[in-house]
A and B are shown apart, each in its own frame.
Chain A
Amino acid sequence: MSLELNVDNLVKSFGQRKLFHVDQLRVGEGESLHLSGENGSGKTTLMKILAGLERPCSGRVMVTPKARRWWSDRIHPQVIYLHQTPYIFSGDVRDNVAYGLRLRSYSRRDVKLKVQQALAWARLEHLAEQPAYALSGGEKQRLALARAWILAPSLLLLDEPTANLDQHSVRAVSELVTQLLDKGTTVMVSSHQKNAVTDLCGRRLHLENLALQELGNAFSNELNNEPELKYYVQH
């Protein structure tokens, strides 16, 4: 499903302390964005606001088309946020992957089939019956991605997905993100440093001096042989 995210005049403060201000941000279908910024600049908070998990102090986040359901909710079912350190529910790996599907009206057979596909996609088949808490950091990150992938989100917000992972795990996560992008999923990755996953992103956003700035398009700059992204496009 094609999905568009529009942000207007978003302000987030904690008490008297202003965290950031976003004038405007438009994210279209199939885009990939890298959100950078120093520690404490508000990357996680901004992503949670975009996912509907936190409320902004003012401004609005609009995800179109709106979800059709009888209850009102600011969390869009096509937008999924993944924590820096994923929360793993008690139970085994299979239960965790099936969590989101069980909330939707799928038959037991469909759930089983899709879970099997998701486990294969994340290369976690051999761990399916293991207690999920016993997984390593990289495996937990892959489990979290599989748990999201199975729901076929239109927008995936990955909060520091490679923090504390070794090179092998970073490569594995990066492969999974590449596959999501190939499927047309819009992906936003937050990270304060460049890595294999952020290198996949076409747009660069930077949180600095209490504002979100766009640092241009990475791919066009690479084509123009520009070594550094230097210009600011403030909306």
Chain B
Amino acid sequence: MAALDLLFSGDAELWSIIWVSFRVSITAILLSLVPAIAVGFMLAMIDFPGRWMVIALFNALMAIPTVVVGLTLYLLLSRSGPFGEMHLLFSQPAMVIGQVLLCVPVLVCMSHSAFQGLDRRAWETARTLGAHCSRAAITMVCEARFALLAAVLAGFSRIISEVGCSMMVGGNILSYTRNIPTAIALETSKGEFAQGVALGLVLLLLALVLNFTLASVRGKGQLV
């Protein structure tokens, strides 16, 4: 009950945490989207030496624990690191960079699979009907839109719920870098469960909304 009270009473601290979470994760997914899908498209369509190695590398990156990405980024952004001059550590931009690194492999691998699953004739038909390469690529994106939407949702789910990287490069600063997962971890360690449960409910609700959205869109795209 205390968790629901917190949610519906408009608790400023709780809603600032939710705001930080969404702001950082939406920025990260928007920054990753186009380049990652472009890489996935090229991996599916262009045959070049070592292509399988690049695909295997992205697959491996997809499985890397978030704390490892966080640690690597921490070392790069810390004062003694190569990018220490930029003073990005414990800031929202650092969290965005971390989340971009986490979701790009997911988007690349899933969009690669989406394009690979398309019929080669789609590309050839677009090209022979007069589409130049970039327009034909847009056609391919349209044809693979349901699978690509699933990729975007999977990428977003990975970053909105990750705790390791955000904790390490964000520093869990209230009203600035404290997001939903880091707040849940902190509050639970303090024995304050109400806020943790309230934030958990937000994540649960988000997961339901995203999955119902995907299911309904996919339903419209079914053949039978």
List residues of A whose CB falls within 8 A of some B CB: 48, 51-53, 71, 73, 75, 77, 79-81, 83, 85-87, 89-90, 99-100, 103-104, 133, 147-148, 151
Contact = CB atoms under 8 A, between A and B. Distances in A.
Interface in B129-188: 129-132, 135, 139, 142-143
Interface in B200-224: 221, 223
Interface of B: 119, 121-122, 124-132, 135, 139, 142-143, 221, 223
A51 B135 CA distance: 18
B124 A103 contact: no
28 contacts: A48-B124, A52-B127, A52-B128, A53-B124, A53-B127, A71-B132, A77-B130, A80-B128, A83-B121, A83-B125, A86-B125, A87-B119, A87-B121, A87-B124, A89-B122, A89-B125, A89-B142, A89-B143, A90-B142, A90-B143, A100-B129, A100-B130, A103-B130, A103-B135, A104-B130, A148-B129, A151-B129, A151-B130
Contacts, number: 50
A73 B122 CA distance: 18
A142 B122 CA distance: 17
Contacts of A71: 132
User: Which among B121, B125, B126, B135 has the greatest number of chain A C-beta atoms within 10 A?
Assistant: B125
- Chain B at the A interface: SS class: helix
Contacts of B124: 48, 53, 81, 83, 87
B145 to A, nearest CB: 8
A133 B119 CA distance: 14
A89 B143 CA distance: 7
Contacts of B119: 87
B221 to A, nearest CB: 8
Nearest to A103: B130
A147 B132 contact: no
Nearest to A74: B127
A124 to B, nearest CB: 17
Contacts of A87: 119, 121-122, 124-125
B128 to A, nearest CB: 5
A177 B141 CA distance: 32
Nearest to A79: B128
B132 A81 contact: no
B125 to A, nearest CB: 4
Given A48-B124, A83-B121, A83-B124, A89 B130 contact: no
A80 B125 CA distance: 9
Contacts of B128: 51-53, 75, 79-81
B12 to A, nearest CB: 46
Contact of B132 (A73, A90, A99): A73
